[in-house]
A and B are shown apart, each in its own frame.
Chain A
Amino acid sequence: MAFWPKIRTGSRERVCNPDAVPYAVFENVGLTIGARKVLHGLTLSLSEDRVGVIGLNGSGKSTFVRLLNGLRSPTDGKLTLFGAPSAEAEKELPRHVGFVFQNPDHQAIFPTVEEEIAFGLTQLGADKTASREQARRFLSDHGFGALASSPFAELSEGQKQYVCILAVLVMQPRLLVLDEPMTSLDGLSGRKIREKLMSLPQKIVMISHDLSHFEDFDRVLWLEDGRLRMDGPAAEVLAAYEADIDRRLGAGMEVAAL
């Protein structure tokens, strides 16, 4: 029995094309929050399978990736997502773009693992019974069958983050956006999650402060004060970024030595 009636708000056509290449086109995009200009004149297009985002604290990484799934909208310039202007695409974006937050505790809405997974399915229109069954199957397919009815809060950090990724994957998005997903994980869990991510068919945009996660990435964006400081193949950008950090450290020491 369908407990949640499907409400059709008119016969609105889809505006997003999930197969669009590039999937995101930024043309002089800027974003102001309150009185603060957080992102300035970003011009780039994204089509690679694995894109990394790096930059110092407060450089605008989280704000930037939030543009990709409509959690934030640009205040300047033009942003095209999956072939549609971002303002029109916004309603459909959660279907195509999965978002994994830094803190799993901020992402989990439901108290148990199974409900958390099932929620994504009901969001797509499945009824409760079907979504529960499908969630259980999905969890056991991913080696989480035994934990299906566990309270989310009782999982280890690594398991929590894994469940958050599964909760997003179950909606079968085309693009996966991750905001520092490995920060609170120990080395082993971090590596496991990274291996999982690299094996996925989805395109990925990921923020991390641990540059080793980007070794196999196709492209890395380096943000500085809300601007694109450098954009290119992972090896080049990572090397330049590390050199810049070394330079800043050196400069800082000279000042301290005075």
Chain B
Amino acid sequence: MISMYLQGDSWAHRLPAGLKLLAVALGSLILFHVSSVWIFTGCLVAVVALYATLGREGLAQLRLLRGIVFFVVALLAIHWLSGSLDEGVVVAMRLVVMVLAANFVTITTRLDDMLDAVLPLFAPLKLFGVSPRTPALGVTLVLRFAPHLMLVFSRLREAWQARTARRSSWRLLAPFAIQSLRMSDNVAEALKARGGSAGLSSSP
């Protein structure tokens, strides 16, 4: 798998995982009520500045954007066709800001810390005799592999572009779906081979 973790000891690495996740969650909630292009421009500058504090390697992580260019263009196109380009710009900027913010957390947080931060959310399941670790691991793995899927998509697009000299096509969606499913099959099998999401401690 592509590494989505940036090795390091920056201020962002040292923040507690729970705090970072909470900030992204709250930030996203607030952004859904914002519709000013200027505020979004500010957010965009701010979030890019966050990456800049991680140094050159941090800024290099912005290449992730290549993966979502397609979605952004599609969003803009749909809004343009329906005569609401202004709104489209806002939706697209919101997407970009949120993806960059979520990715910032992903690259600066160890996955096991993330798992610990998510686990309490599912603690009530214990009342029903269900291990909270299963859904917690699920959420963590989604966080872990979401950026990876974007990379898969941008790679497909490059392969397409190399042979057709055209940028993108809806026809990429089918191979993308297949590759995503295959990837989730692999992850599921790897997990099962080491005892599954609930762990082995339940059967002594």
Contact = CB atoms under 8 A, between A and B. Distances in A.
Interface of A: 3-9, 12, 14, 69-71, 91-92, 94-95, 98-99, 101, 103, 105-112, 115, 118-120, 122-125, 128, 132, 149-154, 167-168, 171
Interface in B52-70: none
B141 interface: yes
Interface residues of B, number: 36
A101 B198 CA distance: 21
A47 B3 CA distance: 39
A150 B7 CA distance: 7
Contacts of B129: 7, 9
Interface in B65-110: 110
Contacts of A105: 1
B202 interface: yes
Contacts of B198: 7
Interface in B89-146: 110-112, 116, 119, 126, 129, 131-133, 141, 144
A152 B204 contact: no
B193 A71 contact: yes
Contacts, number: 114
A229 to B, nearest CB: 27
A101 B189 CA distance: 10
B199 A95 contact: no
B194 A110 contact: no
18 contacts: A3-B119, A4-B119, A7-B126, A7-B202, A9-B202, A69-B193, A91-B203, A92-B200, A101-B193, A107-B193, A108-B190, A110-B111, A112-B110, A115-B111, A123-B200, A125-B200, A128-B112, A132-B112
Interface in B1-33: 1-7
A94 B192 contact: yes
A105 B151 CA distance: 15
A68 to B, nearest CB: 11
A111 B187 contact: no
A117 to B, nearest CB: 11
A14 B204 contact: yes
A14 B198 CA distance: 17
A76 to B, nearest CB: 22
A101 B201 CA distance: 24
B195 A123 contact: yes
Nearest to B199: A123
Contacts of A14: 203-204
B18 to A, nearest CB: 12
B191 interface: yes
Given A8-B202, A123-B199, A123-B200, A3 B116 contact: yes
Contact of A106 (B4, B6, B190): B190
